[in-house]
């Protein structure tokens, strides 16, 4: 007869490992945003991908205590917010052309609209869909060095965080229709900035990646709350 104490011990280790792994991924996502290494942050999506894969395969593991499920749910919420920035930034960076230049305020300057000030080191923001990473800019350089270029999609970091918080909140309370309101507000707010192909490309790709990530994390979060968490 199998040793039930051994199964219980292994189950506890499994859930402790899951909580630790998600915590490490949260730290990786935050650090990658600060040092502008989106690939490192994108790897923090691994626990969510594994959880959804296990769910699709029909695997069912019950947490040893409701408190464990609550801790994992909180961690997944935080991961869904902070990891969305580096993940979106990585996908956008792989998809967009080199004609896009980074702006001084987290946005972009489309082709032909000038570039960053000489001596400034800037990193791409996500055009309203996440964290743009660390920026080291010489503020003694006037913004006129943009040669009249108009920076668009500014404030991507803040908008991205708020977007994912709102999406996860809608999923948590069962109001999926709220996501449509979020997308509508974002689209209306950015409408006047989408007159260039580069801005439209960045906005559409970034928004879709951010929303898909938030919804995927929210789905796993709901499974966790229901105490049927596949990992």
Longest dimension (CA), the chain: 78
pLDDT given at position 68:
79
pLDDT given at position 79:
95
Predicted confidence pLDDT, tens digits, the chain (231 residues):
456 666 667 767 788 888 899 999 999 999 988 888 888 888 888 999 988 888 888 776 566 677 777 888 899 999 999 999 899 888 888 876 555 666 666 666 766 544 444 333 344 454 444 444 434 333 334 343 344 467 767 777 788 999 999 999 999 888 999 999 999 998 888 888 777 777 788 888 889 999 999 999 999 888 877 754 444
Distance in angstroms (rounded) separating the CA atoms of residues 185 and 195: 18
* Encoded tokens for 168: 């996860």
pLDDT given at position 105:
63
Sign of CA dihedral 86, 88, 92, 95: positive
């Amino acid at each position: 007869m199998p040793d039930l104490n051994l199964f219980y011990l292994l189950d506890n280790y499994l859930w402790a490992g899951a909580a630790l792994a998600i915590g490490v991924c949260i730290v990786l996502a935050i650090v990658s945003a600060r040092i502008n290494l989106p690939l490192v942050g994108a790897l923090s999506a691994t626990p969510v991908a594994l959880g959804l894969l296990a769910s699709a395969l029909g695997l069912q593991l019950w947490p040893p205590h409701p408190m464990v499920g609550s801790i994992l749910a909180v961690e997944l919420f935080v991961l869904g917010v902070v990891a969305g920035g580096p993940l979106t930034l990585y996908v956008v960076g792989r998809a967009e052309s080199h004609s896009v230049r980074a702006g001084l305020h987290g946005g972009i300057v489309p082709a032909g609209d000038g570039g960053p000030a000489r001596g400034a080191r800037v990193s791409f923001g996500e055009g309203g869909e996440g964290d743009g990473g660390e920026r080291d800019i010489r503020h003694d350089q006037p913004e006129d060095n943009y040669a009249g270029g108009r920076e668009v999609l500014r404030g991507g970091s803040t908008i991205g965080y708020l977007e994912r918080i709102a999406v996860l909140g809608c999923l948590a309370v069962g109001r999926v229709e709220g996501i449509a309101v979020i997308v509508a507000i974002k689209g209306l707010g950015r409408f006047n900035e989408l007159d260039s192909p580069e801005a439209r490309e960045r906005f559409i790709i970034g928004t879709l990646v951010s929303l898909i990530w938030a919804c995927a994390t929210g789905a796993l979060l709901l499974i966790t709350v229901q105490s049927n968490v596949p990992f």
